[in-house]
A and B are shown apart, each in its own frame.
Chain A
C-alpha cells in the first residue's frame, strides 16, 4: 500500500502567456510577413490588371503621386506597359514560393545529413562533416549561375539548384543540436525501453530540434529569396515574363536615372520581406530559448 499522497500544493504554474506578442521584433516581422504572403496569395483578387498584359502605348507611366500618374495604374507601368502593382503582387507569389520550396528541399537534405552525423558520430560524422565543408567551399552564386546557364532558366531549375546548395546551415545546426541531445537521459531511456534507432530519432530527437529547425528555415527562406533576386537580376533566375522582384529590379535598372521608382519600389519590398523574415527568425529563437534571455 502506498501511504504517501503528494498534495502538489506548490505545483509550478508555468502558464505561457503569448510571449511572442511581447517581442517587438517578432511581432513587427510577423505583421510584414503576413501582409506580403497575403499579397501573394490573393494576387489575382487584388491586382487591378493582368500582370502579363503589355500596353506599349502606356509605357513607364509613373505612380499616382508623380505628375502624370493615374489611378488606372496606381504604381505605374514598366517599360512594356505592364501594370506595376499587378506585377509586384504576383512577384510576391514567386518570391514566397521560391523561398519556401527552397527552404523545404534544403531543410530535408540538411536535417537528414545533420541528424545522421550528430546521432551516429564517428566515421559517419567525419564523412558528413567533410560534405558540409566541401559545400561551404562552393561559391553559391557562381555554381548556381553555371548550372542555370547549362540547363536554361526555369522556376524548377532555380528551385532545385538553390535547394541543393543551401542545406549547409541546416546540416550544421542540426548536427550540433543532435549532438547535445544524443546523450540526454531521455534518449537513453528510450534505448532501455527497446526503441529502434529510427523511433529514437523521430520521437525523441526531432521534437527537440524542431525549434532550431524553424529558426534556420526562416533564415534560409530569406537567403533563398535574396539569391533568387540576385540570379534574376543577372538574367539567370526565373525567366521572363514571370514577375519576380529580382527580375523587376533587373528590368528597371536601365531606367534608374530617370524613373528611379522602377527600382525603389521592388527594392523596398524585397528589403522589407527579407528584414521581416530575419526578424521572425531571430524572434523565434529568442522566444523558444527562454533560459538564454534571463
Chain B
C-alpha cells in the first residue's frame, strides 16, 4: 500500500489459528475456533484497530500477540522472528499491554509507585533509588501528580488508574503497545483524556499500537488501519478513513449502522441480520488487499 514509507513490519501474524477445547461433561469435548486463519501486518508507527463483538476472537488474538497464548497453528512474528524465539523477559521489553479494566489490573495491595517500578524490579534494572526516580518520571509522563506516588490504587479515580496502567506499560520502553478496550470502562469525559494521552505518547516515543475495541468511533478516531473481526476471522481490513466511507463487507456495514452516533430524533436503525448467514463469515473481496 502507499504511504508506509518503507517502515519495517514490527509485528506479523501468519495464518494464525487458535482452537480451544472445552470439556462438556466427562465424555463430551467441544472445540471452539476462537481465531480462524488470521494474517496481519503491523508496521512501525502504525495504529492497527481491531473491531469486533464479544466472541469475535479479538481478545484471543491480542493475547497471542503478547505471547500469553500460543497459536494452535500459524506464526506470530516480532521483528521478523517467531515469538517462541523470545524469552518472556525479552518480549516484555518489546511489547506491552494496556488493560481494559483499570480496577482489576492494578494490585490493590501495592502503592502506585511500586506498581509503576515493578517491571524495572522484575528485570533487575537500576537500584531502588533509580527505579523510584524513573517511576516518578513516568508519573509525570502520563500526567499524574507526584503526590499519588505513595497512594494505593483504591484512592485513585478510574481515569487516574488507567494512567497508572499506561505508565507501567511504558516503564520498559517498549516499541509496541497492545491496548484492549483502553477506555471502555471509563466515563466519556475521561475517555477523551486517555485517548489524547495515547496520541501524545505515540508521537513522543514513536510507539506502535494495536488497539482492540468494540467502539467504532474510538477506533475510527485513533487508528491508521482497521481489521474487522467476526467469528474468529478478519472479514475486512482497510485504511481507517476508507472503511468508514466505503465499507465493503456486510458485517462491517452492520457494525457501522449499529454505532450510536449523535443523531437527535434519528431513531434506532434496523441492524437485524442472520448470524448464521455464511455471507457474514466470508472475508470481503478482494481479501486483505492491504497486504
Interface residue ranges, A against B (CB under 8 Å): 1-6, 8, 10-14, 184-186, 188-196, 199, 203-204, 207-208, 210
**B118 pairs with A190, CB closer than 8 A:** yes
**B92 pairs with A193, CB closer than 8 A:** yes
B257 at the interface (CB under 8 A from A): no
**B157 pairs with A12, CB closer than 8 A:** yes
**B200 pairs with A208, CB closer than 8 A:** no
With contact pairs A11-B155, A12-B157, A192-B68 given, residues A3 and B118 touching in the complex (Cβ less than 8 Å): no
Within 8 Å by CB of B104, from A14, A184, A190, lies A184
Residues of B within 8 A of A3 (CB): 196
Closest residue of chain B to A10, judged by CB?
B157
Q: How far is the CB of B110 from chain A (nearest CB, A)?
A: 7
Q: How far is the CB of A14 from chain B (nearest CB, A)?
A: 6
Within 8 Å by CB of B122, from A2, A6, A186, A195, lies A195
**A186 pairs with B105, CB closer than 8 A:** yes
Q: How far is the CA of A13 from the CA of B165 in the complex (A)?
A: 21
B97 at the interface (CB under 8 A from A): yes
Interface residue ranges, B against A (CB under 8 Å): 66, 68, 87-93, 96-97, 99-101, 104-110, 118-119, 122-123, 143-145, 154-157, 159-160, 163, 165, 168, 171-172, 193, 196-197, 200
Closest residue of chain A to B90, judged by CB?
A194
Since A192-B66, A195-B118, A207-B107 are in contact, a sample of 19 more A-B pairs with Cβ atoms closer than 8 Å, ordered by chain A residue number, is A2-B197, A2-B200, A4-B197, A5-B143, A6-B160, A6-B163, A8-B145, A8-B160, A185-B104, A186-B106, A188-B97, A189-B97, A191-B88, A192-B97, A193-B171, A194-B123, A195-B122, A196-B122, A207-B109
**B197 pairs with A12, CB closer than 8 A:** no
Q: How far is the CB of B190 from chain A (nearest CB, A)?
A: 9
Q: How far is the CA of A8 from the CA of B151 in the complex (A)?
A: 13
Q: How far is the CB of A199 from chain B (nearest CB, A)?
A: 6
Most chain B beta-carbon contacts within 10 A, residue among A12, A188, A199: A188
Q: How far is the CA of A188 from the CA of B165 in the complex (A)?
A: 12
Closest residue of chain B to A208, judged by CB?
B109
Residues of B within 8 A of A8 (CB): 145, 157, 160
Sorted from nearest, which 7 A-B pairs have the closest CB atoms? Answer: A194-B92, A185-B105, A194-B89, A207-B109, A193-B119, A186-B107, A185-B104
A-B contact pairs, 23 of them (CB 8 A): A3-B196, A6-B143, A6-B145, A10-B157, A184-B104, A185-B99, A185-B100, A188-B68, A188-B97, A189-B105, A190-B122, A192-B97, A193-B123, A193-B168, A193-B172, A194-B87, A194-B90, A195-B118, A195-B122, A203-B118, A208-B107, A208-B108, A208-B109
With contact pairs A4-B193, A189-B97 given, residues A204 and B107 touching in the complex (Cβ less than 8 Å): yes
Within 8 Å by CB of B193, from A6, A184, A185, A204, lies A6
Residues of A within 8 A of B106 (CB): 186, 189
Q: How far is the CB of B19 from chain A (nearest CB, A)?
A: 18
Q: How far is the CB of B265 from chain A (nearest CB, A)?
A: 33
Q: How far is the CB of A9 from chain B (nearest CB, A)?
A: 10
Q: How far is the CA of A19 from the CA of B30 in the complex (A)?
A: 50
**B168 pairs with A189, CB closer than 8 A:** yes
Residues of A within 8 A of B196 (CB): 2-4
**A6 pairs with B144, CB closer than 8 A:** yes
Q: How far is the CB of B82 from chain A (nearest CB, A)?
A: 18
**B96 pairs with A192, CB closer than 8 A:** yes
Residues of A within 8 A of B108 (CB): 208
Residues of B within 8 A of A199 (CB): 122
Q: How far is the CB of A267 from chain B (nearest CB, A)?
A: 41
Q: How far is the CB of B86 from chain A (nearest CB, A)?
A: 10
Residues of A within 8 A of B143 (CB): 2, 4-6
**B193 pairs with A186, CB closer than 8 A:** no
Closest residue of chain B to A5, judged by CB?
B143
Q: How far is the CA of A6 from the CA of B155 in the complex (A)?
A: 15
Q: How far is the CA of A12 from the CA of B154 in the complex (A)?
A: 8
Residues of A within 8 A of B122 (CB): 190, 193-196, 199
**A11 pairs with B157, CB closer than 8 A:** yes
Residues of B within 8 A of A192 (CB): 66, 68, 92, 96-97
Q: How far is the CA of A8 from the CA of B66 in the complex (A)?
A: 33
**A191 pairs with B105, CB closer than 8 A:** no
Residues of A within 8 A of B165 (CB): 189
Q: How far is the CA of A14 from the CA of B100 in the complex (A)?
A: 24
Q: How far is the CB of A294 from chain B (nearest CB, A)?
A: 15
Within 8 Å by CB of B99, from A10, A11, A189, A208, lies A189
Most chain B beta-carbon contacts within 10 A, residue among A14, A185, A193: A193
Residues of A within 8 A of B68 (CB): 188, 191-192
Residues of B within 8 A of A6 (CB): 143-145, 159-160, 163, 193
Q: How far is the CB of B134 from chain A (nearest CB, A)?
A: 14
Residues of A within 8 A of B66 (CB): 192
Q: How far is the CA of A269 from the CA of B89 in the complex (A)?
A: 56
Q: How far is the CA of A12 from the CA of B106 in the complex (A)?
A: 17
Q: How far is the CB of B108 from chain A (nearest CB, A)?
A: 7
Q: How far is the CA of A10 from the CA of B66 in the complex (A)?
A: 36
**B154 pairs with A14, CB closer than 8 A:** yes
Q: How far is the CA of A150 from the CA of B171 in the complex (A)?
A: 59
